[in-house]
Structure 1
């Protein structure tokens, strides 16, 4: 309580004091560029995925644009030691994504290399995934996919090096006859998502859908 008085939570955009469980104030919230995609219908994101691998459904919550508030939100989650941002984004997703009677069997998030996770202190996708798992009653597995190499953050790479992800990921155990929802923060070139999707698809008679916080 005393810390809240001394260091009140502030909107990451306008610096206005807000409730402790919020990320942006109500005024700035209106500036977030949500996609309004339909998970079950063709959309821009699904079309991008279909160019890279067979995909069942695809959903992106926000647009990740230059000077856009969504970019600041993702950077708060990944680089500003604000893990709770994942909870806020999960709640926004829950309010917009309805699986109806066609839920995936398993939620799997893109892993960090153990060294990178130790440096950051958390995987920015874990809390997000766990909240969705609880809400939709879908199990999750944080260990199905393994990142084999420690590498520079995707956001800090040039486009040429982003496209080089061969053998970066591997699947840790046999999984088959599952519909897996693969979760990531930002879809840029799609190379990371595609590499993991093919690992899952080649592991058995699996299907893959994609959920990302934002699409570039």
Structure 2
């Protein structure tokens, strides 16, 4: 209570004082470009994915805004130790996402162990776990691993981004599952594609995708 008085929580958009663990005031939230598309419908994200791997369904929470609040929030989630923003993104997702038929398994894109140690956490885990609990869909953070440490996709040149073979490997067999792959931002789709194809090596599997932000 003492610290709350002298160091109140502030909106990450306008810096006004807000209630604890809210992160964003309603005025700033209304400036975010939410996609509001249906998971099973045709949409831009699904069309993009179709060009690089077979996909069942796709859902993006927000559209990319170069100077927008969504980018600021994701930056804070990934790099400023604000991992509880994962719960906020999950809350916003739950408000907008429904399934005609639920996927069988949630898998978030893993970090390389060195990267996760540097960051202190995987920014997708709390988001995935919150989604899992609400929809009663199991998740597994150990089922797939990233095989080598690399720079962030946004910092790589095009040639290196295309070298995604063997980026991931399964640690447990998956067969006959509809897997929902979860990531923070969809840009080129190279990381998502590499992970999807690893799961689709078993022809009995299907994949869908869920991302916090779509950059197109």
Distance 2:157 2:22 in 1: 33
Cα gap change, 1:88 to 1:214, in 2 (>3 Å): same
1:34 aligns with 2:34: yes
Contact kept, 8 Å, 1:174 with 1:204, in 2: the verdict is no
1:204 to partner: Cα distance: 4.6
1:7 to partner: Cα distance: 1.6
1:21 aligns with 2:14: no
Give the gaps of 5 or more residues in structure 1: none
1:157 to partner: Cα distance: 2.6
Distance 2:78 2:155 in 1: 12
Bigger Cα displacement from structure 2, 180-189 vs 62-71: 62-71
TM-score (norm 1): 0.96
Deviations 1:175-208 (A, max 9, x none): 1000000000000000000000010011351010
Cα gap change, 1:9 to 1:163, in 2 (>3 Å): farther
TM-score (norm 2): 0.96
Contact kept, 8 Å, 1:163 with 1:189, in 2: the verdict is no
Bigger Cα displacement from structure 2, 114-123 vs 166-175: 166-175
Deviations 1:63-100 (A, max 9, x none): 12211211111101001110000000000000000113
**Which SS does the other structure have where 2:35 is aligned?**
coil
Contact kept, 8 Å, 1:61 with 1:212, in 2: the verdict is yes
Cα gap change, 1:91 to 1:160, in 2 (>3 Å): same
| Length, aligned pairs only | 215
- For residue 65 of structure 1, what is the aligned residue in structure 2? 65
